[in-house]
A and B are shown apart, each in its own frame.
Chain A
Amino acid sequence: MIKKIFYITILAFFLQTSPIIAGSTGSENLKGSKRTSGAAGECFEGTSRAVFNFNLALDKAIFKPVAKGYRAIPLPIRKSTGNFVGNLRSLLTLSNNVLQGDFSGAGNTLGRFAINSTAGILGVFDPATRLGLAKRGKEDFGQTLGVWGTETGCYFVLPVLGPTTVRDAFGKVGNVFLDPVYQVTHNTEVDGGIGNESYSEHNYFIYRGAGSVDFRANNIESIDSLEKNSIDFYASVKSLYLQDRIKKISNSNSPIETKSDNDWEEIED
């Protein structure tokens, strides 16, 4: 464990100082961009667009049909599945609450986990909310890096995993080390003789997959509508992804705090 924390610290230090994390690739300047919204630059847009199209095809062939099938399951079962996965996911949030120095958030996450894992029968139900411990946002290591002041870096699209930035890609690696669910499932599988040191993540991937299906099922219509009404779907998804990350890093639900009015001022003249 100490070794893993050491690796994460080295990774974080590298990100704070690395030139590849600079705010933009400079491609916007080369193109004489007149964007004023502060969007992250592209790392390699042509490749990202190709990967994006591949992901879309994969979604239409596999993920969306699976999500539709999942939605045919009665709502209480879906809700319980979402609660169960969300409860496990909160352990990653807890690690990141602590790393961000958000001890109030950590207390909330820990309290919710304790109550929902016991009174809520392994997280299937959510009595913590009724007891006054409201659900707060999820945290991940990419957000933690953002809170620590790491720049976004350029934007690109990963196969299957979807949109990301340099900072968030490193964050995804950090998540694996920081997620207690990964540690438990990995070690249990190694000890139980399932897989080996280099491949023993079956249960972890099932857990992550369940979370993704739940998310996709909740967003079938909104993603369809976005695609239908976009003139450049790739750019829409990029914009939404980056806005969402800013919102999550600022830990704010108020658009007044996260959306600057300056953007609108230019139309006044």
Chain B
Amino acid sequence: MKKNFFGFLFLLFFVVIIPGKSDAYSSDPKEFISNIVDEAKKILVESNTKEFKTKKLSEMALKVVDIKGIGFYSLGGYRKDLSDAQLKEYMVLFEKYFLKSFTSRLSDYSDPKIDVLQADVINPKYTMVKSLLQGTDKKPEVKIDWRVYTKNPESPLIRDLIIEGLSLAKTQKEEFASVIENNNGDITKLFITLKEFVDK
């Protein structure tokens, strides 16, 4: 019985605890991005179903992306006009919107080959990690820079992807501002638009 109990603990260690370690990302920004790229590659192999890819990419994004920070950034100055309840509603919607958009963009790639090249520390809060998505017959190579938020050095988070010098976070911020401004500053129209995107 005792032997069986230790056998069970041994099994538990390998089945639950060891695989759990693969979720531990490095605190070094360059290594951190390499970990993410490696994990994404495993998820994006062609044999995986779209549902599986979406689920796993979402789980990964929740751990490595500063979704709350990007959500605030995307809202710009309008954030200060929101009540606490509205802000809460926005963050719930934004997370759904972000995960759908993030997984949809990445799911288009199968077996992407990304070389993580170097990390440049901008200041104590940000490090920019440079990488290169290798070209294929159909697509040219693409430079991707990752803005890594390092305010908590033990737990870095991604805040932006800069593709060939073009910031996705900034583009999203401009998009949100456009939706609000074209509805005479009515921020609830942004909520409706986000909801429509999530539901479609």
Contacts and interface: CB of A to CB of B under 8 A. Distances in A.
A198 interface: no
A31 B159 contact: no
Given A34-B177, A234-B178, A253 B143 contact: yes
Interface string B48-81: 0000000000000000000001001100111100
Contacts, number: 115
Interface stretch (B26-34, B39-47, B84-92, B118-126): B118-126
Contacts of B76: 34-37, 266
B162 A259 contact: yes
A243 B166 contact: yes
B175 A255 contact: no
A239 B171 contact: yes
A37 B170 contact: yes
Contacts of B78: 34
- Contact-residue size bin, chain B (C-beta under 8 Å from the other chain): 35 or more
B162 A37 contact: no
B165 A244 contact: yes
Given A31-B181, A225-B104, A255-B128, A231 B175 contact: yes
Interface string A207-249: 0000000000010111001001111101110111001100100
A222 B175 CA distance: 17
Given A34-B76, A234-B178, A256-B128, A264 B167 contact: no
Interface stretch (B3-11, B12-20, B134-142): B134-142
B81 to A, nearest CB: 8
A258 B159 contact: no
A255 B167 CA distance: 9
A217 B25 CA distance: 37
A248 to B, nearest CB: 9
B105 A229 contact: yes
Given A33-B177, A34-B177, A255-B165, A218 B140 contact: yes
A249 to B, nearest CB: 12
A192 interface: no
B104 A232 contact: no
Interface residues of A, number: 42
A94 to B, nearest CB: 23
Interface in B130-178: 137-140, 143, 145, 147, 159, 162, 165-167, 170-171, 173-178
A36 B73 CA distance: 10
A244 B140 CA distance: 17
A252 B182 CA distance: 33
A232 B176 CA distance: 8
A22 B174 CA distance: 20
B63 to A, nearest CB: 20
A39 B145 CA distance: 22
B188 interface: no
* Residue among B101, B123, B137, B170 having the largest count of chain A Cβ atoms under 10 Å: B170
Given A256-B122, A259-B162, A232 B178 contact: yes
A93 B178 CA distance: 34
Contacts of A31: 181, 184-185
Q: Top 3 nearest A-B pairs by Cβ distance?
A: A34-B77, A235-B178, A239-B174
